Structure 1
């Protein structure tokens, strides 16, 4: 359940950045920044748990502010590729820093003993709360500004919206949530290494989003739960994890263009419409 909650949160941040029309492949970088910040704050600086935990999100947000100001002047594939490159650069930096454990990683990242028993509900509560906050922002006036930018930047700018600052704000909010997810990852796993934060993390998040359905806020949750459970079965059968997720993205785009959430929505719509259809049919007779 912990990994489903974290995966759903990361995929939800990917969906959130899509409000401004961008695909954020720097997600893995800020996830790693959050994890390493929490790890260093806990093991080396010996900060209190709550401070170390929140520091992961704050540092990720601060770095994303600079990154966003520079890179969000680009669009589409250019922004995606820059994010991909940044994630790989950060991963390589972790391997070169001996004080971060290099390739071996950072160990001994534990929560207080009093919280250890409640770690699973804590992770689920934090992840669920952040997903809920992202949705509340999406349906607020702020979210409408983000959507207006995606629909037409020129029109948004003409009505007084500060397009670049708004895009950066969206990106920073998502990065804070990703940083918190990274903190939770560190405390859950107790050890982190550079290999945990490669670009594949962003690819997996995209798979959760596409399979679950990017148009519905529950899509990332449904996609994460379904794919993680199916992936566990696939691994038991000897199927390669990367092949599984690649196939899942392709299958979702071909067979479920609106994802599982869209499919479930059609079922509910059909059930609600069916009585009315029957009444019309009787009257026609």
Structure 2
């Protein structure tokens, strides 16, 4: 029986998105492709920290840091496009290392509350800082002219690269250490591994990716404001992950795509949009506790029992 190759499926879907971008070159379809890809990347970033058993609601804050670094680099400093992407990723990652070093002594709901508070503090800093637009935000954040028409294609390409990086890290020895920490960090410490450092690095990698997502979002939207990066961004990422499934990175992809498309469909319900959207999430999580990727077990054909050789009596 051929086992499902999740990575191939992700790449195939990425190819479809790129094709849509090329065929449309703009308009609603290209806009949907753009936001599908960005939501996938934010969800994958959120999921990476769940490898150590934590829910990091500070992801929204680091997406915002990436967006404001890119916006400031473009609007205020007139820096090259690709340099702003790199700076957004590294600055978000570096800040997160300091954040993680201080906060990752806490676990479970305590860390979740701290990360939630961090996101709101960062959002208030944006609001009170006039040089970056204050509560009005920043405008005029455009990608290079040669890239503007096919910007969704560029975003999908970057997202696929980041998904591949996260997947490889998860399958590496370091990824196995993270999963072991989630299962029992005390045992991991007994073999000489610095658990705190491993957890801080995990948050740093996640925030590096979140910073890139924020920069891509800023260039895709052309305008950013503090309200774009509230804790709700992390709540949506959690919803995408729960609906898609946490056990594999493909769950982040599936959940983000399905719920983003569902949100577009729910717009037609007018004032009942949020009721419909919320009901869909509740039903999905209740009926499919393993997420949509858990459906794969229903499509597996039962393998024939192995033939056991026995000695014939003489």
Shift of 1:253: 2.5
Do 1:207 and 1:248's aligned partners in 2 also have CA atoms closer than 8 Å?
A: no
The partner residue of 2:299 within 253, 268, 280 is 268
The partner residue of 1:35 within 67, 71, 86 is 67
CA distance in structure 2 between the partners assigned to 1:220 and 1:32 by the alignment = 20
Do 2:140 and 2:222's aligned partners in 1 also have CA atoms closer than 8 Å?
A: yes
Q: 4+ residue stretches of structure 1 with deviation over 3 A?
A: 239-249
SS state at 1:16 partner: helix
The partner residue of 1:114 within 146, 163, 166 is 146
The aligned residue for residue 257 of structure 2 is 225
TM-score normalised by L of structure 2: 0.84
The aligned residue for residue 169 of structure 2 is 137
CA distance in structure 1 between the partners assigned to 2:228 and 2:242 by the alignment = 22
The partner residue of 2:123 within 88, 91, 94 is 91
Instruction: State the Cα deviation string for residues 131-155 of structure 1 (Å, max 9, x = none).
Output: 1110110011010011111110110
CA distance in structure 2 between the partners assigned to 1:245 and 1:174 by the alignment = 27
Correspondence list, 1:1-285, <5 A: 1-239=33-271, 242-263=274-295, 265-269=296-300, 272-273=301-302, 276=304
Shift of 1:246: 3.9
Do 2:262 and 2:277's aligned partners in 1 also have CA atoms closer than 8 Å?
A: no
Shift of 1:96: 1.0
CA distance in structure 1 between the partners assigned to 2:104 and 2:257 by the alignment = 31
SS state at 1:232 partner: helix
Shift of 1:118: 2.2
CA distance in structure 1 between the partners assigned to 2:263 and 2:204 by the alignment = 31
Query: Is the alpha carbon distance of 1:241 and 1:89 closer, same or farther for their aligned partners in structure 2, counting shifts above 3 Å?
Result: farther
The aligned residue for residue 283 of structure 1 is none
TM-score normalised by L of structure 1: 0.92
Shift of 1:250: 2.5
Query: Is the alpha carbon distance of 1:123 and 1:235 closer, same or farther for their aligned partners in structure 2, counting shifts above 3 Å?
Result: same
CA distance in structure 2 between the partners assigned to 1:241 and 1:47 by the alignment = 40
Shift of 1:95: 1.1
CA RMSD of aligned residues (A): 1.4
CA distance in structure 2 between the partners assigned to 1:40 and 1:190 by the alignment = 12
Shift of 1:54: 1.3
Shift of 1:267: 2.9
Do 2:266 and 2:277's aligned partners in 1 also have CA atoms closer than 8 Å?
A: no
Q: Structure 2 unaligned segments of length 5 or more: list them.
A: 1-32, 306-314
CA distance in structure 2 between the partners assigned to 1:32 and 1:54 by the alignment = 15
